[in-house]
Structure 1
Amino acid sequence: MKNIVSSIVLIGLVMSVQTGYSQKKKNKNREENIPVTTDNSSQRDSSFKEYSNVITSLAISDEGIFTVHKVESEYYYEIPFAQFGNDMLWVTRISKIPDGFGGGYVNAGSKTNEQVVQWSRVNNAILLRSISYSNVANDSLPIHHSIIANNNHPIIESFKIEAFNPDSSAVVISVNNLFLADNRAISGVSESMRQQYKVKALEKNRSFINRMASYPENVEVRHEMTYSASEPPSNSKTGTISLEVSQSMYLLPETPMQPRLYDKRVGWFTLSQVDYGSDALKADKKTYIRRWRLEPKDPEAYARGELVEPVKPIIYYLDPATPDRWKPFFIQGVEDWQAAFEVAGFKNAIIAKEAPTPEEDPNWSPEDARFSTIRYIATTTRNAMGPSVSDPRSGEIIESDIVWYHNHIRSYRNRYLLETGAANPLARTLNTPEAEIGEMMRMVIAHEVGHALGLPHNMKASYSYPTDSLRSATFTQKWGLAASIMDYTRYNYVAQPGDEGVRWVRMLGPYDKYAINWGYRVISGVESAEDEKVTLNKWISDKAGDARYLFGSYNAYDPSSQTESVGNDPIKASSYGLSNLKIVAKNLKEWTSTPGEAYDDLDELYGELLSVWSRYAGHVNMLIGGIYQEYKTTDQSGVVYSHIEKNQQQEALKFINKNVFVTPDWLLQDDILQNIEASGALAKVRSLQSGQLSSLLQEGKMKRMIENEALNGNEAYTLSSMLSELRKGIWSELSDTKNIDAFRRNLQREHVIRLEKLMINDAKNRSDISALVRVELKEIQKAARSAAHRYGSDLMKAHLQDIDALVDSILDED
């Protein structure tokens, strides 16, 4: 009977710190001006019951950090006064959910709230308060009093004192109302879900506490909550939503871990505080990385450079629901990170284990805050996640639950076939060999473990390898597909038929080892986070100029920080990718057919093939109007932002005109289309091309091109040149009266419509965009009028006359 207690939202920790994090002591962190009475005589007035009259002989008790009691239908906490004022992390999770709840991305184990709390006493009331560390100052400084005055701790719940224990060292409170009332601070139903499902009220007669247990460092509670709802996600006739909520209250370390200052040149999840006690002439915002507390068992050996085991390793338990055949791959995915921690000086720093059986430990639970788990979720959702819970005082990660959704296997099976099938015989089936799919799952788990260790996505990692190197078996088997597994470089779609022995699936790379060393290596001889800065900066400087150690988040303007890309030449990589995709398209029906089955798999894979094609096009599209971003500090040479070279942008537009805006006959396979739909090919292609056209004619992209021309003159690829070359490509048939097929007519209409939208959006600003778009519309109109009379086809004439009239209406309205 071991589980979790109460929880609250981390996303808005709104409080103050009672003392500086590095000097914090237990008593100093307690709520100021709160009388904590321990005098026996003052506690024994007539308003309090005798302990034996509250905690009767019928009590079922469990001792731990608190003693928890069940007396018939009443639940009590017996809280020692020694725990008052201590920081406790309260986490709320959903342990059981109804079908369809949350739209597929909420599951058993999903965290809904997280917050630091403290217990305190005011007169005859026990208070549970929410504590924030957003604003701090050392308690020895005068400004500390202002921090307290301007960051009052909100009260979550107030409790009546029921009794004191026999030696007056602890207070007894009833917690039924905390868990059986609709307390938004610890609810499993978010405000958006309440609106979505039209939740009316909590049904108390159908809500109850299932379990309550106490451990040396945490208290665990599970309670069933039933809500009346007009539009529940499933079982609509019941008009209710029932879910089991898991609450964990975890004692945070008395002395917080020494934090490590964040540097944006190395990617980390972070937390921030405003230090009002800083000597800086401002409210000094300090950002710290989130990481596990790893301390060497033998500090002297560690200082000598020997590999040393940590005092407390990071341990992940496999969900008992994990299918046996996947367990070895999940374990490997976790322990792949051991090599990275060895670079940081730690041996066996991260370990994966199977969860104990009920016979081995009947009290083990994945919701227990002491355990980090890999949850295996039975759902149709196609995803995986690696969230974690951290101490807001220091960034110390306390625990994490990695989530694998069962149907994610399907995503990787499909993408493996589509992106590698042309050159990889093992991928040409829906029944991917177990070793192959297992390797993919291993690397997904490794990716999610990276998140749980504190690493965000590094989308620049794929750009660090030469594109042609990905066709080399020697290179890919040693270095993988990208410098980091934290990129979205899932498969090697560059390798061509005949490229033997190449690696097809991603793996950990040099950046991962570098980042783990940067974040986890213990720096000796320092007393504060500021003292570490010189060493941390040197570690970055030592790697300067090596693309493998760059970090970049996804953004809408940097072609070197894109998702799903491979290699440092998007044009070459997408050319290779499209070449492979054409081979796959020819064979897709054969590779997805199962005797006796309908064409559902073909339909699904064909839809995903179109998405892959669109991604390849998008990587090239991003070059036009693109800007490279490379984080730098003032002591480094070079600039942070630099425009893409003119000739590369011109080549990108040539690629798009040649491969994206032409009619994709290779996609229009009769044996596919005639087996999956009665019609729809025109709409599919129009949607794909329209999406790329919209991306190319983004207002932000166009503004960057105008600014580039203003700053760099002839060295810039001008917006007028891009618009002119785009027009010549899309309307190329008009110059020699070639047939304009239905797909191209759709694209030409879409081109005019997109230009019209630019005119409308720019109507107030009247920038160079409006002026250049007007020129383009007139050129299109002129060419359409001139060509209309040369076509013998009534349909061609009608199309061009319609374009003429459409442009007229746009310009008239303008």
Structure 2
Amino acid sequence: MSIFYRTASLACLLALLQFSCSTTKAPQTATTTSATKSDSTDKAKPKTGMKSYKAVITKEAVSDSGVFTIHKVGEKYFYEIPDSLLKRDFLWVSRFVNLPSGLGGGYVNAGSSVNEQMVEWQKFGDKIVLKTKSYRSVAADSLPINLSVQANNYQPTIYAFDIAALSRDSSAYVIDVTKFLSSDIKTFSGLDSEMRKTYKVSKLDDSRSFIQSAKSFPLNIEVKQDFTFDAAEPPTNSETGAISLLMNQSMVLLPKVPMQPRIDDYRVGYFNIRQIDYGSEALKADEKSYIRRWNLVPKDIAAYRRGELVEPVKPIVYYLDPATPEKLRPYIKAGVEQWQEAFETAGFKNAIIAKDPPTAAEDPDFSPEDVRYSVIRYVASTTRNAVGPSVSDPRSGEIIESDIIWYHNHLRSYRNRYLLETGAANPSARTLDTPMDDLGEMMKEVITHEVGHALGLPHNMKASSAYPTDSLRSGAFTQKYGIAATIMDYARYNYVAQPGDKGIRFVRQLGPYDHYVINWGYRYLPDAKSAEAEVPTLSKWINEKSGDPIYQFGSGSGGYDPESQTENVGADLVLASTYGLKNLKLVAPKLYEWTAEKTNDYDDLEELYDELLGVWSRYIGHVATNVGGVHENRLKPNQEGFIFVPVDAKTQTTSVNWLLDNAFSSPEWLHEAKISRNIHHANYVDEIRSLQVRHLNGLLSPDRLARLMENEVNDVKYNALDMVNQLQRGIWKEVYTGSAIDIYRRNLQKAYLDRINYLLNETPPSGRRTVTPVDISQSDIRSIARGELVKLQQQLKSAQNRYKDDLSRYHIQDALVRIDNILNPAKG
């Protein structure tokens, strides 16, 4: 280094951040222009707090170079931010690494994203500031309205840092980030305002909180924070008065030039990003939605045009976690690469690849935390789950990276469901020691499902209703088409197949919708130079499949569309649940033989019996959704038909009769003495009561009754009164037959009266959101409930003297008192 250069650099250092220098141009502030001649007298005066580089980054520093260089000096952390990366777009992702059980009501897991936001680093005077940045509101730079968009969407400053020093060559700024990374910054915290209120969190305890690590990679920075908060009512370990979290903060450098986005269409299932475009020629701002997808471009566009399969310039590559057991690796790889079939439909060869992790010799810098690598992480945890999160560019929807997370115990859940749902027709499922080939096939399909999420695909719950129910009893059909039209549905097993059916596929697989949706989202359109130019082609592909149930999309949200449900298979829900329940009645008496008799232990028996009740409940729920159900068909105005179509009257009537016979009758088939008397001391009957009451209350919910009332104007000859009348006669059928009322029925009938009391005398909490909001007091709900209850009262008075057994007679007498109190609450 020449003496001249060192002197010039020192002058730049002393000039700090506001002056020009002949050899190194210092960046401008957010509000100032270049220095004037009158500033020259200040050049010899160092700014307050500014030190030389070597005084800040001492010989003791442990440095890690990457997108920013991170220096650890003692207990302090410093970022060295290149001037070239100021005002560049970064994506900041906050995730849980470890968290207490039950946090957030149990709806968040390790790996769950807490927040994603764009940020940028700016120089402002003698400080570096970290600001949020949003692409939610946009307008082209060339349009005058862009000035208004910027002025009316000013983003908050997250943190301001004093500049501790300049780098040796004055091309970067050194800031102390220790306090920032050690503080309870709300926008990055794992505890939202609702959690803080629920758990009575007072503050972050500095004495029990620290930065665990900070690592820099070429495109990202990863920081782990071990934080402990003082909390008066933590979700677990209440005696500690604390909540501890291990948080991961990822900061990812986004591409300088965003990928050309693809406009979302709600008729096809993709995760999306949304923007409000104020540059629209319409009379209002346009809301634009772009799908989330990887940027796949064919290497040879000419060959791609000719219809040849072409490899992408940059394939999607997943590396296996080094901790992955060897015996599971082939199944995980197969799960990833199963998507190659669908990408071939989109014209790509070898578009997605799974690889073993490189050895230290092959790649000494490999790290699962490096955003350049997508990893299937194998987590030693008792959690039974797998997730497929991804990081995407909020400007374009481009997926940058994803990590699939597989929790060690997850296969146990699949083993249990396999035994319960297919054990009647599938001999290999009738054991706790499921064959490895079967477990491997399950794992493969779970990985394929989670990778689907990472490719941009949400759940498509409508696909499980695409196939005729009886087709699922055909070996030829299920081997070719699977058990649902997509792997992205929650259709895990074929519970329809019956004993004696041959060649059946019991486990889900990739389906025809998967080929369709990948082609729609990923096929490269070389002649379309803008997102808008792609729309005619994309719409044409959708219109070609219009009306075919195999290619329809439904999110399953709302709970009112019987075709869009979780865990069901087959178009005819009543028939499918009938087959499923028939199989379950064969499995239940065998549970003892398949578990406790083999293990000499009751733990597995208890676990499986509880899950059996859950399976029964799901079959009930599938049928119940027909009642007051509304089919949702995703259509555009140029397509025929209605978006919302109520379920026909015959199906609703049949469904209520099925529920009376299979959900609300006394379930004697569940009472196996060898089971219940070895795992319960007294709560067996109450478990049944709880399950039945859940579905009873669901049928008599205000939102369902509101949809049934709408049938009156939708020309459906089955309304709320019809349903309540049919349900009441079935729940209280003993009143008409004079037969004894057993304990299950007595409990259910009391629950019925409680629910009618709720509809007549209680008001849902204010602000409560329902699928179909309704004002109960100004609707027919209370008229129907009161009228049917008065009718029941009269029938019970006539019937009470017919009962000879004391319990039935006492129960009727009690019911009459309850009804009187419901009809006259002030009196009660």
- TM-score w.r.t. structure 1 length? 0.90
Counterpart amino acid of residue 464 in structure 1: A
SS at match of 1:813: coil
8 Å contact from structure 2 (residues 29, 124) kept in 1: no
8 Å contact from structure 2 (residues 298, 311) kept in 1: yes
- 2:814 is aligned with 1:802: yes
Stretch of structure 1 that moved more, 471-480 or 585-594:
585-594
State the distance in 1 between where 2:560 and 2:100 align: 41
Select the residue among 455, 458, 465 that pairs with 1:456: 458
Q: CA deviation at 1:727?
A: 2.5
Stretch of structure 1 that moved more, 462-471 or 87-96:
87-96
Compared with structure 1, are the counterparts of its residues 78 and 729 closer, same or farther at alpha carbon in structure 2 (3 Å cutoff)?
Answer: closer
8 Å contact from structure 2 (residues 31, 124) kept in 1: no
Counterpart amino acid of residue 374 in structure 2: S
Q: CA deviation at 1:768?
A: 2.2
Compared with structure 1, are the counterparts of its residues 232 and 702 closer, same or farther at alpha carbon in structure 2 (3 Å cutoff)?
Answer: closer
- 2:628 is aligned with 1:625: yes
Q: CA deviation at 1:60?
A: 3.8
User: Which position in structure 2 is the counterpart of 1:417?
Assistant: 419
Counterpart amino acid of residue 475 in structure 2: A
User: Which position in structure 2 is the counterpart of 1:12?
Assistant: none
Kindly report which structure 2 residues correspond to 1:383-402, keeping only aligned pairs within 5 A, or say none: 383-402=385-404
SS at match of 1:404: strand
Q: CA deviation at 1:45?
A: 4.1
8 Å contact from structure 1 (residues 37, 43) kept in 2: no
Q: CA deviation at 1:109?
A: 4.4
Kindly report which structure 2 residues correspond to 1:238-253, keeping only aligned pairs within 5 A, or say none: 244-253=246-255
8 Å contact from structure 1 (residues 36, 121) kept in 2: no
Select the residue among 513, 516, 530 that pairs with 2:532: 530
State the distance in 2 between where 1:104 and 1:364 align: 34
SS at match of 1:250: strand
8 Å contact from structure 2 (residues 315, 352) kept in 1: yes
State the distance in 2 between where 1:609 and 1:780 align: 34
Kindly report which structure 2 residues correspond to 1:721-736, keeping only aligned pairs within 5 A, or say none: 721-736=722-737
SS at match of 2:714: helix
Select the residue among 261, 267, 270 that pairs with 2:263: 261
State the distance in 2 between where 1:108 and 1:661 align: 39
State the distance in 2 between where 1:237 and 1:628 align: 50
User: Which position in structure 1 is the counterpart of 2:685?
Assistant: 682
User: Which position in structure 2 is the counterpart of 1:91?
Assistant: 93
User: Which position in structure 1 is the counterpart of 2:511?
Assistant: 509
Compared with structure 1, are the counterparts of its residues 607 and 69 closer, same or farther at alpha carbon in structure 2 (3 Å cutoff)?
Answer: closer
State the distance in 2 between where 1:705 and 1:104 align: 33
Kindly report which structure 2 residues correspond to 1:313-324, keeping only aligned pairs within 5 A, or say none: 313-324=315-326
- TM-score w.r.t. structure 2 length? 0.89
8 Å contact from structure 2 (residues 127, 162) kept in 1: yes
State the distance in 2 between where 1:234 and 1:369 align: 34
User: Which position in structure 1 is the counterpart of 2:46?
Assistant: 46
Kindly report which structure 2 residues correspond to 1:579-658, keeping only aligned pairs within 5 A, or say none: 579-595=582-598, 597-658=600-661
1:569-602 deviations in Å (ceiling 9; x for gaps): 0111011011101001121111122556332221
SS at match of 1:121: strand
State the distance in 2 between where 1:226 and 1:765 align: 48
Counterpart amino acid of residue 769 in structure 1: I
- 2:675 is aligned with 1:672: yes
State the distance in 2 between where 1:595 and 1:36 align: 83
- 2:793 is aligned with 1:781: yes
Compared with structure 1, are the counterparts of its residues 718 and 50 closer, same or farther at alpha carbon in structure 2 (3 Å cutoff)?
Answer: closer
Q: Which has the higher contact order (CA 8 A, sep 6+)?
A: 1
8 Å contact from structure 2 (residues 129, 159) kept in 1: yes
- 2:563 is aligned with 1:560: yes
Stretch of structure 1 that moved more, 797-806 or 482-491:
797-806
Compared with structure 1, are the counterparts of its residues 547 and 180 closer, same or farther at alpha carbon in structure 2 (3 Å cutoff)?
Answer: same
Select the residue among 768, 777, 781 that pairs with 1:769: 781
Kindly report which structure 2 residues correspond to 1:709-728, keeping only aligned pairs within 5 A, or say none: 709-712=712-715, 715-728=716-729
1:380-415 deviations in Å (ceiling 9; x for gaps): 222221111111111111112222222222211111
Q: CA deviation at 1:64?
A: 3.2
8 Å contact from structure 2 (residues 29, 123) kept in 1: no
Kindly report which structure 2 residues correspond to 1:272-351, keeping only aligned pairs within 5 A, or say none: 272-351=274-353
8 Å contact from structure 1 (residues 275, 285) kept in 2: yes
Stretch of structure 1 that moved more, 531-540 or 105-114:
105-114
Counterpart amino acid of residue 127 in structure 1: V
Taking only the aligned residue pairs, the percentage that are identical comes to 54
Stretch of structure 1 that moved more, 367-376 or 66-75:
66-75
- In the alignment of these two chains, the number of paired residues is 783
SS at match of 1:642: strand
Compared with structure 1, are the counterparts of its residues 727 and 537 closer, same or farther at alpha carbon in structure 2 (3 Å cutoff)?
Answer: same
8 Å contact from structure 1 (residues 385, 403) kept in 2: yes
User: Which position in structure 1 is the counterpart of 2:493?
Assistant: 491
State the distance in 2 between where 1:436 and 1:264 align: 36
1:706-744 deviations in Å (ceiling 9; x for gaps): 2212331xx421333322222222222233322222212
List runs of 5+ in structure 2 lacking aligned partners. 1-27, 764-774
Compared with structure 1, are the counterparts of its residues 440 and 732 closer, same or farther at alpha carbon in structure 2 (3 Å cutoff)?
Answer: same
Compared with structure 1, are the counterparts of its residues 34 and 136 closer, same or farther at alpha carbon in structure 2 (3 Å cutoff)?
Answer: farther
User: Which position in structure 1 is the counterpart of 2:162?
Assistant: 160
User: Which position in structure 1 is the counterpart of 2:743?
Assistant: 742
User: Which position in structure 1 is the counterpart of 2:446?
Assistant: 444
Stretch of structure 1 that moved more, 367-376 or 421-430:
367-376
User: Which position in structure 2 is the counterpart of 1:663?
Assistant: 666
State the distance in 1 between where 2:366 and 2:712 align: 64
Counterpart amino acid of residue 667 in structure 1: L
1:662-696 deviations in Å (ceiling 9; x for gaps): 11111112221111112223212222221221122
8 Å contact from structure 1 (residues 95, 367) kept in 2: no
State the distance in 2 between where 1:254 and 1:282 align: 30
SS at match of 1:558: coil
User: Which position in structure 1 is the counterpart of 2:696?
Assistant: 693
8 Å contact from structure 2 (residues 740, 805) kept in 1: no
8 Å contact from structure 2 (residues 101, 236) kept in 1: yes
State the distance in 1 between where 2:405 and 2:158 align: 30
User: Which position in structure 2 is the counterpart of 1:9?
Assistant: none
User: Which position in structure 2 is the counterpart of 1:16?
Assistant: none
List runs of 5+ in structure 1 lacking aligned partners. 1-29
1:615-644 deviations in Å (ceiling 9; x for gaps): 111111111221111010010011111111
Q: CA deviation at 1:561?
A: 0.6
State the distance in 1 between where 2:239 and 2:754 align: 46
Kindly report which structure 2 residues correspond to 1:188-267, keeping only aligned pairs within 5 A, or say none: 188-191=190-193, 194=196, 200-204=202-206, 207-225=209-227, 227=229, 244-267=246-269
User: Which position in structure 1 is the counterpart of 2:753?
Assistant: 752
8 Å contact from structure 1 (residues 480, 508) kept in 2: yes
State the distance in 2 between where 1:134 and 1:775 align: 52
SS at match of 1:76: strand
SS at match of 2:94: strand
8 Å contact from structure 1 (residues 109, 375) kept in 2: no
Compared with structure 1, are the counterparts of its residues 138 and 718 closer, same or farther at alpha carbon in structure 2 (3 Å cutoff)?
Answer: same
State the distance in 2 between where 1:537 and 1:484 align: 21
